[in-house]
Every structure is written in structure tokens, then in C-alpha cells.
């Protein structure tokens, strides 16, 4: 029987905690421990988590790093299977954890990730994003899929994921000092090392965001930066065809399910994301103050980032 450690990075997570605890208590297969890495929350996050019996490790906010903080959580955990969950992702039913860890526990894959469902108030565009990225059929990907799928072969989400600890340690865990997309880079490392990554549609969490255009720009600028800094498999696979396919599908969905305004929003968002991504890919040509201004994670550029 594998020991499962649930690792949750937090920052002012107070509003999410009661529902999350209730969902975890309802699981058919509960985690053996919950490890919280808190980035100096100013609300009652740390105290509330401790009152639940969860282990809490606090770090300075400026120390947070998408990959490094999750690696820290792994070093604090005792499980042979490491499960990662973001504070705003809510397990949709009692089989979330059991289904998520099943392929890892069985040795069928080195890592797995959950299906994400849109929140009830999600916009038309966000509903399509969840349908497109998280279909209702499970699948397993290997290195052989990279030529066919391009960057989609490395798609992986730490919103809700699981990984075999031994494999995690053998490939060096998540990349550190990465601005974003530590999960995609981890999946690329796994595939390149000959491991399998499973998408488990039966493991479901409710998670979506309705970002304004300004945040969409900053987020995709950071994604572009992460691709420019990536190494190995993630650096060589293509991104353009995946992006065009998404935009075409989202436009059709908006016309069918939404309004002309939604369709226009698709085109505006696509242009915004494209521009931001390619600026991020070429961030080294920009002066540091401008990189900070364009980026979502501005603190990243304050730590001697390249």
C-alpha cells in the first residue's frame, strides 16, 4: 500500500480551506498526510491548516518559486506518491484522489493529472478552454507522441497531479527558478527519460479562472519566457499548430454557445496571447524594467533573473 502525501502551496487561501477540507474528508482514499507550504499569508491560512492537523511549513513570500517550492514540499513529505493540488482547486467527488493515484500506484505511469471542470459561473471562453484541454477520455502519453502532438505531448497540470517519488527524484524533480510552467517542463523531462504520463479523466477537480486581458497578457508573456528558457524536449517541440487549433475551436464554440461579443473576445484574446508569448520568447532583448512591467510574476525579475 503506497503512502500518499498531498502537498498544497498556499497564499491567503483562507476562503478556500473549509470546502477543501470537507472534500478531502469525503474521499474514498484519503491522503496519508497533508503538507502545506505557505508563502507568508496575511490571513489565517497557516493557523487554519494547523487546526486541521495538516503540517505547515512557512516561507518568505519572495522565496516562492513554482518549481522550487513544490520541490521543498516533496522534501518535507514522507509519501511514496506525491500529490500536488493548488489551493483553489476543489475535488469534484469522492473518487478524485483514488482515481488520480491509481495509474502511478499500479506502475502504469510515472505521473498523472486530473480533469479540470469549469466553475458554475465560468465564461463561455473559459468553459471551452476546460473542454479542450481536459476531455472526458483518459489517455497515456509517451515520448513517441511528441512528434505528432508537439507541445501538447508535454501538457501536464499541477493544479491536481500525482507522481512516483522515486521517478521524481531520479529526474531531479521540478525545475527551479522557473517563472511558470514547471509542470510542463517536468512532463517533458519524464517523457525524455522514457516514462509515461497519464491524464485521468475520472479524477476531477473544479478549477477555472476568468482573467481580464491585462492578466492574460502577463500570463502569456511569462509562458513565452518559460519556453525561451526551456531545455531538451520542450525546447524542440512546436507550439503554433496547437495554438491555432485551440483558437479555431474556441471561436466555433463561442459562436454556437455564446454571442458575437464572445466571438470577438476570442479574436482579441488570441491576438493578445500571441503578442505576449512572442515578446516573452524574446525577453532577453528587452530591458529589465520593461520585463518586470510586462510580467505577471514581477518578483521573479527582482531575483537576478536572466
Specify the CATH number for the domain of residue 187: 3.90.550.10
pLDDT of residue 39: 97
pLDDT of residue 299: 86
Q: Are residues 34 and 158 in the same domain?
A: yes
| CB contact set of 256 (below 8 Å; sequence gap of 6+) | none
Q: Is residue 306 part of a domain?
A: no
Q: Is residue 249 part of a domain?
A: yes
Q: Are residues 54 and 153 in the same domain?
A: yes
Q: Give the three cell numbers for residue 214.
A: 491585462
Q: Is residue 36 part of a domain?
A: yes
Q: What is the pLDDT of residues 177-213, one digit of tens each?
A: 889 999 999 999 999 999 999 999 999 999 999 999 9
Q: What is the pLDDT of residues 140-152, one digit of tens each?
A: 999 999 888 888 8
- Single pTM value for the model: 0.93
pLDDT of residue 234: 66
Domain span at 137: 4-206
pLDDT of residue 231: 73
Radius of gyration of the chain from its Cα atoms, rounded to whole angstroms: 19
Q: Is residue 8 part of a domain?
A: yes
Ranges of the chain whose pLDDT falls below 50: 306
Q: Are residues 275 and 255 in the same domain?
A: yes
Q: Are residues 105 and 201 in the same domain?
A: yes
pLDDT of residue 237: 63
Burial 127-162 (b: 16+ CB within 10 A, else e): bbbbbeebeeeeeebebebbeebbbbbbbbbbbbbb
Q: Is residue 266 part of a domain?
A: yes
pLDDT of residue 42: 97
* Chain centroid offset of residue 291 CA: 23
Count of domains for the chain: 2
Amino acid at each position: 500500500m503506497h503512502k500518499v502525501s498531498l502537498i498544497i502551496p498556499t497564499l491567503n487561501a483562507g476562503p478556500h480551506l473549509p470546502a477543501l477540507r470537507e472534500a478531502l474528508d469525503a474521499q474514498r482514499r484519503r491522503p496519508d498526510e497533508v503538507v502545506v507550504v505557505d508563502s507568508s499569508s496575511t490571513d489565517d491560512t497557516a493557523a487554519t491548516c494547523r487546526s486541521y492537523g495538516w503540517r505547515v511549513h512557512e516561507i518568505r513570500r519572495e522565496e516562492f518559486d513554482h518549481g522550487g517550492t513544490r520541490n521543498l514540499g516533496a522534501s518535507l513529505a514522507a509519501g511514496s506518491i506525491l500529490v500536488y493540488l493548488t489551493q483553489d482547486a476543489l475535488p469534484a467527488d469522492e473518487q478524485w484522489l483514488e482515481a488520480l493515484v491509481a495509474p502511478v500506484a499500479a506502475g502504469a505511469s510515472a505521473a498523472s493529472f486530473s480533469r479540470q471542470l469549469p466553475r458554475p459561473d465560468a465564461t463561455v471562453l473559459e468553459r471551452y478552454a476546460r473542454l479542450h484541454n481536459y476531455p472526458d477520455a483518459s489517455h497515456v502519453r509517451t515520448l513517441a507522441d511528441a512528434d505528432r502532438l508537439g507541445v501538447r505531448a508535454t501538457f501536464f497540470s499541477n493544479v491536481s497531479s500525482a507522481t512516483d517519488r522515486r521517478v521524481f527524484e531520479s529526474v531531479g524533480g521540478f525545475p527551479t527558478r522557473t517563472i511558470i510552467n514547471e509542470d510542463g517542463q517536468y512532463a517533458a523531462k519524464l517523457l525524455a527519460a522514457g516514462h509515461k504520463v497519464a491524464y485521468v479523466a475520472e479524477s476531477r477537480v473544479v478549477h477555472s479562472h476568468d482573467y481580464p486581458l491585462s492578466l492574460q497578457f502577463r500570463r502569456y508573456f511569462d509562458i513565452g519566457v518559460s519556453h525561451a528558457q526551456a531545455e531538451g524536449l520542450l525546447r524542440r517541440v512546436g507550439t503554433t499548430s496547437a495554438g491555432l487549433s485551440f483558437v479555431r475551436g474556441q471561436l466555433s464554440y463561442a459562436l454556437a454557445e455564446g454571442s458575437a461579443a464572445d466571438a470577438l473576445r476570442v479574436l482579441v484574446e488570441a491576438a493578445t496571447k500571441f503578442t505576449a508569448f512572442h515578446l516573452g520568447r524574446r525577453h532577453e532583448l528587452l530591458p529589465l524594467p520593461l520585463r518586470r512591467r510586462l510580467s505577471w510574476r514581477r518578483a521573479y525579475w527582482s531575483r537576478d533573473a536572466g
